[in-house]
Structure 1
């Protein structure tokens, strides 16, 4: 007879049929009865952590990309076009073109369910207090991060000025390993963030106990403080951002002086095994996820936008040349391989983000009238920029408006194509974006995402709605016609 826990684990296996690990697949479900903390650690490593991609292709929707090349696109490229042009049915187009079994929405919940199993049961397992605290802290951090992504993809921004977060639909909170037959309804944005902050604060307490470091492929206390600083940045809790970023910096690697950084294959840095987005880059705190195939898609009719390329205005800014290089119209394909190389993973949490998060929080306090905070923001920005720009001259504090502009520019320049820009645009007020689609021997069509457009919130996949009648769909934009 299969125990309740085995049924739960079987459910996780079914939900995670396209997830990252093979741990459960290799163990008969009626034989797997975890009693030790080590077993839960293996479960989390196999099914809770992600070593493939959970990407929602948000990098295809932001203003760091634009159209390029001129030829008739393939069926696969036409599916990317629906994402690139913010069509309401982009999810279905991608599934059909790429033969995906599950959506980003479903894949994130599969990861969450694995975390729930650990969170619900590991405290009763056989292990030392330190072992239990660490695996529980890891699971809580991952669950917080997955919900943070879900609510920022499928719900309106926390700081959306049109209403308060307690009056807007977020995503369903599934925080137990049992499954409701009737399906879960959507919680509010405020409720989701309350769960996220509760999880990450509890995780930090647990991970701080012994400050165990199991390498860059598993969460530790520094990584937990980093993601906490990001969460509170989105919530505009500036003191919390500063507190968590400062605590993370105390244990984080130092910034790399990028002008002197050498890829391990200098002749072809796009084939490097130690690019910026990798476990080998000295600033990396935590690394996870594979680079989506779309990021390596040779011939994709998308390039770096002129806007982002021209933002690197400082002479000697080594990011222009080491984060991307000039090819024919800055094609995405070689650009991504330059920053990501042939590394084993696609996403990282890096020390640089801590300086950017804290600088932005100090800047906001300066805007609000705290005069001493302005120089603190400048100090963080100068520390980052001096490690990126040859013969750098310090930025001098001026107006709050100029400081805010620099904070946003540095965030864009430093974190380009690391999964931040789309979320940042949302919390910056959801400005208008235009994308050009170039095909059919040079025919150009321009598509517009208007300010505060409904497509700044991705629709819940129709297949998910069909299975769960308690879910309410997001506001849908009409078919987006170009001109």
Structure 2
């Protein structure tokens, strides 16, 4: 029987990767099965949590690409390698390999975090240092639960959190959990983030490659916005806008190829020898990689000629291609995903106050626009402010997996000018916001070993 489903993960599979030491990159971790009896062992085990984020099934590629092709920014080229077709067409089966491997990878990471959180309290060591380890594990666990509930459950607004979410896993143990409600998952995510932030108050905010109190604040802003709690989203995002630790940087061709800029709040650092080769994120967009994912004409048409972000859009024959991830350290298609940036805080704040304080929302919007080479907007009708913010977010975070969640959060569904089985650009469609296939199925492999878990509506039982 396969041993990667939640109920069996704790029996093994954990903290594999090469044996490592503290404070090295890549995020090396302990060998599977090693006890966490000392502070040094717990610290190295924390590296294993970061290492899990780098999985090709997660932020190493699939999560960013799947959630991008779920939306309306891109399409799959007619000549393709059969990657991400089900995510683009929203025609998942319960045996979908990408859906299954994502579920596996993220729950692996959660259980790694659980192991650290449980062990760190029991080992001897300086309390301040232990707090830093535990705080990071809590923030990472929150991020992973949040990433799961966004794709395997209905948006919070559909049922005000009452619909089925994903199983919350807080202990490193062999169990067969049922699904918590969406509200319960969000509540746990917020608790982990606030608790983790308190423990990380002395963490170095200039460290881009490990989560700190500012990362927790940024993720809280993101979570509150997705939940529809605009008041708290505005409060949390404002802390970072005015905090002085980060600054917006002009768009440049190498921004996504060089990690560690002043705009980054949290970046998942890949060192150059960690290249996934043809499976690097950028290789999904560019030739001579697979080049399967192309930029939709609709997205391209939204750009002003003066927009400096056009540097990330190139031409290949008659099609537009993503040039954000051309390569890091001379490795084609490699990148260190910039998971949280200051620009997002401006746009979260703008969206959160778009209906209650449109003048402030306009100021936020213009901070982004003027930094990207555009003239400030003099006025935007209050009724049009939200759509203006979402349009700016679409341009700013294209190919970073944000657009799909912007649409779901605001009940807009997905409207495209290309949806046909042959991936014709001229086959338009709309996937309604309440369509069953707007979210992923629970993997059949999970149900095989955990038959009591409830499947999402529309995917059978």
Does the alignment reach a TM-score above 0.5?
yes
1:173 maps to 2:168: yes
Aligned to 2:23: none
Q: Which residue of 1 aligns with 2:407?
A: 425
RMSD over aligned CA atoms reads 3.1
Q: Which has the larger radius of gyration?
A: 1
The answer for the alignment partner of 1:354 in structure 2 is 345
Query: What pairs with 1:180-191 in structure 2 (closer than 5 Å)?
Result: 180=175, 183-191=176-184
Alignment-derived partner of residue 21 in structure 2 = none
Q: Distance in 1 between matches of 2:196 and 2:412?
A: 31
Matches within 5 A, 1:196-275: 196-208=189-201, 210-213=202-205, 215-249=207-241, 250-258=243-251, 261=252, 263=253, 274-275=254-255
Aligned residue pair count? 425
Using a 3 Å threshold, how does the CA distance of structure 1 residues 37 and 243 change in structure 2: closer, same or farther? farther
- Displacement of 1:134 in angstroms is 1.1
Preserved contact between residue 454 and residue 475 of structure 1 (Cα < 8 Å) = yes
Q: For 2:87, which of 83, 89, 109 is the aligned residue? A: 83
Which residue among 273, 284, 304 is the counterpart of 2:264? 284
TM-score (norm 1): 0.79
2:309 alignment counterpart = 319
Deviations 1:293-322 (A, max 9, x none): 465133444311111111113x4110012x
Q: Specify the SS of the correspondent of 1:326.
A: strand
Preserved contact between residue 288 and residue 346 of structure 1 (Cα < 8 Å): yes
Match of 1:466 among 425, 444, 448: 448
The equivalent of 2:273 in structure 1 is none
Whether the aligned pair in 2 keeps the contact of 1:118 and 1:139 (CA below 8 Å) is yes
Alpha-carbon shift at residue 334 of structure 1 (Å): 4.6
Pick one of 47, 56, 68 that aligns with 1:59. 68
SS in structure 2 of the partner of residue 14 of structure 1? coil
Whichever structure has more helix as a proportion of its residues is 1
User: What 5-or-longer segments of structure 1 have no aligned partner?
Assistant: 1-7, 96-101, 264-273, 367-372, 479-483
Distance 1:280 1:172 in 2: 34
Q: Partners in 2 of 1:388 and 1:341 — Cα distance?
A: 26
Is structure 2 residue 387 aligned with structure 1 residue 383?
no
Q: Which sections of structure 2, spanning at least 5 residues, go unmatched?
A: 1-6, 19-25, 271-275
With over 3 angstroms needed to count, the CA separation of the structure-2 counterparts of 1:382 and 1:45, relative to structure 1, is same
* Match runs of 1:64-143 below 5 Å: 64-69=73-78, 71=79, 73=80, 76-77=81-82, 79-89=83-93, 92=96, 94=98, 103-143=101-141
Alpha-carbon offset, residue 60 of structure 1? 1.6
Q: Deviation at 1:91?
A: 5.2
Q: SS at the partner of 2:167?
A: coil
